[in-house]
Every structure is written in structure tokens, then in C-alpha cells.
Amino acid sequence: MKLNSKKFFIAIVAGTRPNFMKVAPLFKEFGKYKNIVEVSFVHTGQHYDKMMSDSFLFDLGLPKPDVLLDTGGGSHIKQLSLMMPGLEDAWNKKKPDLVIVVGDVNSTLAGALAARKMDINLAHVEAGLRSFDNTMPEEINRRIVDQISDILFVTEKSGVVNLKKEGIKDNVFLVGNVMIDSLVQNKDKFVKSDILKKLSLKNKKYAVLTLHRPPNVDDPKIFKDLFSHILNLAKKMPIVFPVHPRTRPSLLRAIESMGKLSNLIIIDPLGYIDFISLVSSSKFVLTDSGGLQEETTYLNIPCLTLRNTPERPVTISLGTSILIGRNYALIEDVANKIIMGDYKQGSIPPLWDGMSSQRIIDIIFKKYDLRSNTGLQ
């Protein structure tokens, strides 16, 4: 593609907490090439609470969104049906040469479909991950977005294999993990956080819990069962629980029926810096979040993964993740061993080195012949 004097215009779409730490390093890296590219930040508004969105944008040093849609809070279908016309309006005003979407949330799908329908080139960062569980909304989003993307950036080898099986072989690049770029770039800030002091915690003397997946939190019976094991564990070690908005109603019900939840420190969602700082100093983490499985692997913190069908196998084969699934009775056994110092040592997966956004930008520049247009090499 030959460009005239016009800069190559890229729109990066993000809308949820797990998107923001993936796009931040891309903005930072593209920022070095302002003479070649113009980059716009499109925030779909899927996550809209101060603690789910604004504090993340601030912590990660993200620019103010160029486009901010008002779409959060409704059903998935309602979210998608509000996001797509919002994106169309924005891109009708100024059509991007390339749209970049990240991850697997509804904002990813809306951004990808809108780009495709408007005949705009599409890149997917974090392509190829599969849980092979079509009841997960994220799995549907991943499969569709990968099928319609022009460039696919993959975090781990399994992603390349999965895409090949689905007939996607061209323009697939194993580049590592942009979320780890964010960890590497913010290292200095984590050590300065005073979150342990604020919560009166001591290094390695507590665990962290996060929960938001429907199979764990939506059914009151399942949630109560899970919680009874968590509470038993809390007798041995304090557990900090920053509560995701979708988990609040189930938690309130559990408190009503189970009474005081001793040694469980229930707090609002934290900003990125405080949260990673809290995780880095913890003894172990219990979670159903895919992103946190990756972050704990990089930070070498044992992670009890409360999922049946995880889509990031490298965090189990190489990393620190231990699959608990829905067999909640395992939680206490595994956690007790960790408390006694008996747990598997992980290693950091290939290319999770803080350089993934550079690799991505190099590939984009090559594919669209951007350096030669400016005389840069």
C-alpha cells in the first residue's frame, strides 16, 4: 500500500478492564512514530465504573479516548447493538486504515465486525486462544474475530496450532504477550504502591481472590459451595477479595446466608498499579480470570485457577497455574501445600519479555510498507 502525504490512521478499540493493559503498550510504542502514524483511542464504554475504567486509564498512562461510547450495563446483545453504530459513526467521520482489537470481550467483537463491515483492515491482538467451550461468550467472540481478521498476533504457541486447525495460516504471528509488556513497563510503580499498608497486610502472609465468571458466581448454590471452601481456607490465611461488579449480588446473598465472612477482606476493585502490587506480594492467588493466570505466571506467584476450560494452556504447562476447575474441594489441599512451601515452580513462556508491542508494530509497518513511505528503515 502506498501512502501519499497522509499519515496511516489506526484506531485501537478497547472497552473493558482486561483490554486497557493490553492496549497501553501499543499506544506507548506507536507514540514513537508520530511522523508515520496517527492513532485514535476508541473506548466502547463496556466498563464504565470509575474503578473498572477511569482509574485503569490513569494508572496505565493511556491517552484520553478520542471516541467514548455510552454502551455499558445491558445484556450482551444490547451492548453489541449500541457499540456497532457508535463505531460506524466515528469511522464515517474519519475512516481508519487499520483497526486493532485486543482480547475476547464484547468490545473486541463489536470493533472487529464494524471494521469488517466498513471494509477496514483488521488486526487482532491475542488471537488463537481457545477454551473449546462454546457456552463462554468470550469463546464465540474469539472464533468470530479470528475468522475475519487480516493480521493475527498470537501470545503462545497453542494459538498458532488452534488457528491452523481452523484453516487460518496466513498473517499469523507469534509475538508474545502485550499484557506482560504492561507489567514490565510499570515495574517501578508497583514497588511504590502503599496498598499493603492500607490493608494492614504483610508480604507473603495473605492470598488474593478474584471471581467474575458466570459458572462460578451466578448460581447461588455453586457460589455458596465455592465460598464455604474459601472461608475454610481464610481460617489459615487472610484472603483479599476485590469484588467485580457482576459478583456483588451473589456475594451479598452469601453474606446474608453465611453470616460474617471472617478473615476475608472484601474491597472494591483496585486500580492496576495497586492490584498488581497486591498480587506480587501475595502468597498465592485464586482466580477465574484468564489475564491473571498470565500475570501470576510472569510474577511467579502460584495461581489456583477456578476454571474448567482454561484457554491459556501455557500458564499450566510452563507457568504457575494449577487447575482446580469446579472441584472446589481441592482448594484447601492445594493451598495448604503452598502455605507449607510445596508448590510447582513455573517459568516464563517464550517471548513474554516486554517487547511484544514492538514486534507487533514492526510487523504492521512492514505489512503496510510504512517505513519506506517515510524513508525510515
Catalytic choice (43, 76, 212, 244): 212
Distance of closest approach, residue 172 Cβ to ligand UD1, in angstroms: 22
Least CB distance to ligand UD1 at residue 49 (A)? 3
The least CB distance from residue 90 to ligand UD1, in Å, is: 20
Stretch that binds ligand UD1, among 40-48, 91-99, 111-119, 200-208 (CB under 6 A): 40-48
Half-sphere exposure of 208 (CA within 13 A, CB side): 32
246 touches ligand UD1 by CB under 6 A: yes
Exactly one of 143, 157, 189, 212 binds ligand UD1 (CB under 6 A); that residue is: 212
- Asked whether position 45 contacts ligand UD1 by CB under 6 A, the answer is no
Q: How many CB atoms lie within 10 A of CB 228?
A: 14
Binding piece for ligand UD1, criterion CB under 6 A, among 10-18, 35-43, 320-328, 337-345? 10-18
52 forms part of the interface with ligand UD1 (CB under 6 A): yes
Of the two residues 49 and 150, which places its CB atom closer to ligand UD1 in the complex?
49
Which residue from 114, 160, 117 is spatially nearest to 15, judged by alpha carbons? 114
Q: Does 138 bind ligand UD1 (CB under 6 A)?
A: yes
Q: Which stretch binds ligand UD1 (CB under 6 A): 44-52, 230-238, 279-287, 368-376?
A: 44-52
| Contacting residue, 25, 72, 319, 346, with ligand UD1 by CB under 6 A | 72
Shortest distance, position 183 Cβ to ligand UD1, whole Å: 18
Which one of the spans 41-49, 149-157, 316-324, 350-358 is the region binding ligand UD1 (CB under 6 A)?
Answer: 41-49
63, 126, 232, 272 from 173: Cα distances, Å: 27, 10, 45, 28
Per rule CB under 6 A, is residue 49 in the interface with ligand UD1? yes
Q: Does 181 bind ligand UD1 (CB under 6 A)?
A: no
* Binding segment toward ligand UD1, per CB under 6 A, in 13-21, 185-193, 320-328, 360-368: 13-21
212 is a catalytic site residue = yes
Contact with ligand UD1 (CB under 6 A) among 40, 55, 71, 106: 106
Q: Of the two residues 52 and 207, which places its CB atom closer to ligand UD1 in the complex? A: 52
Positions that interact with ligand UD1 (CB under 6 A): 16-18, 46-49, 52-53, 72-73, 105-106, 137-138, 212, 244-246
Active site residues: 212
